[in-house]
């Protein structure tokens, strides 16, 4: 899995804020793979058939991964659903403290509810004949 | 997962995929999808449709199936072809 420079910069950022690499898994074919970092929150960097995605989860709900567009929307900054890797990296690094605060124990449950709602609303926009 | 279930899946070696343009990638992908649609196959989803990554190939595949009349099963784990019970 060849890692482009902007993803290397994200990795450098994650390490600079105290996250450490927990796993690096190579997928089947397409050069796909996942690198996971954690320390309080988990961040995974996914190469999905050549496209790069950055996702964040709460250690207490480690199977719920949220993309940066959802997290940005939760934080009140609106924008497009589809973000290139540099745009995802920019949100992650510029809003890091706010993203971490989303999953603080006092507000994590409400954050998960709101993120689920945002995800459902988005699914209705994407697949209007499936989700009404 | 697909091997364990005996299901077909779209797969291209990294070295080949990396040399293809996006248009070529989608053409190859679409050919695979069209074959499966022609068979009337159900599509098993490893990830719920609503959890697709924005801008991903997976989301594009879901949109393609939606355009072909597929719909999600009640439990959201499969896409069902049009007219299937």
Number of domains in chain B: 1
Residue B7 has pLDDT above 80, yes or no: no
Res. A130 pLDDT band, cuts 50 70 90: very high
B85 part of a folded domain: no
A132 part of a folded domain: no
CB contact under 8 A, A48 and B57: yes
A vs B, Cβ pairs < 8 A, gives 63
Number of domains in chain A: 1
| Residues A9-41: b if buried by 16+ CB within 10 A, e if exposed | ebbebbeeeebeeeeeeeeeebbbbbbbbbeeb
CB contact under 8 A, A127 and B50: yes
As a whole number, mean pLDDT of residues B17-24 equals 92
Q: Which residues of A touch B63 (CB under 8 A)?
A: 126-127
| Residues facing residue A39 across a β-bridge | A41
Cβ A49 vs Cβ B28: under 8 Å: no
Partner residue facing A31 (CB), from B14, B49, B59: B14
Strand-strand pairing, A61-67 and A51-58: antiparallel
Residue A13 to chain B, least CA–CA distance (Å): 23
| Residue of chain A whose Cα is closest to the Cα of B49 | A123
| Residue of chain A whose Cα is closest to the Cα of B70 | A130
Candidates A50, A55, A69, partner chain B, best to mutate (most B CBs within 10 A) = A50
As a whole number, mean pLDDT of residues B13-26 equals 90
A131 part of a folded domain: no
At A4-60, the pLDDT tens digits run 899 999 999 999 999 999 988 887 666 688 998 888 899 999 999 989 999 999 999
Residue B4: the pLDDT is 58
At B41-71, the pLDDT tens digits run 999 998 999 999 999 999 999 999 999 999 9
pTM: 0.89
| Residue of chain A whose Cα is closest to the Cα of B60 | A126
- Note down the domain range covering A57: 5-126
A83 part of a folded domain: yes
- Report A:60-119 residues touching B (Cβ under 8 A): 67, 69, 81-83, 119
Those residues with Cβ within 8 angstroms of residue A129's Cβ, 6 or more apart along the chain or in another chain: B66, B71
Cβ A88 vs Cβ A53: under 8 Å: yes
| Residue of chain A whose Cα is closest to the Cα of B16 | A30
- Note down the domain range covering B42: 2-80
B55 part of a folded domain: yes
Residue B25: the pLDDT is 94
């Amino acid at each position: 899995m060849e890692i482009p420079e902007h993803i290397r910069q994200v990795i450098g950022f994650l390490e600079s804020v105290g996250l450490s690499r927990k796993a690096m898994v190579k997928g089947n074919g397409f050069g796909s793979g996942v690198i996971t970092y954690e320390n309080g929150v988990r961040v995974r960097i996914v190469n999905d058939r050549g496209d790069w995605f950055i996702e964040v989860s709460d250690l207490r709900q480690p199977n719920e991964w949220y993309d940066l567009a959802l997290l940005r929307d939760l934080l009140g900054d609106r924008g497009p659903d589809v973000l290139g890797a540099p745009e995802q990296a920019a949100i992650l690094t510029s809003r890091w403290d706010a993203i971490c605060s989303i999953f603080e124990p006092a507000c994590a449950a409400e954050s998960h509810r709101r993120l689920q709602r945002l995800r459902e609303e988005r699914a209705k926009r994407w697949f209007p004949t499936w989700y009404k | 997962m697909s091997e364990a279930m005996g299901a077909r899946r779209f797969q291209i070696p990294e070295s080949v995929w990396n040399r293809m343009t996006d248009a070529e990638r989608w053409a190859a992908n679409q050919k695979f999808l069209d074959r499966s649609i022609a068979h009337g196959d159900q599509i098993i989803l490893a990830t719920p449709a609503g959890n697709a990554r924005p801008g991903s190939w997976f989301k594009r595949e879901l949109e393609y199936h939606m355009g072909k009349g597929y719909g999600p099963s009640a439990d959201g784990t499969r896409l069902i072809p049009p007219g299937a019970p």
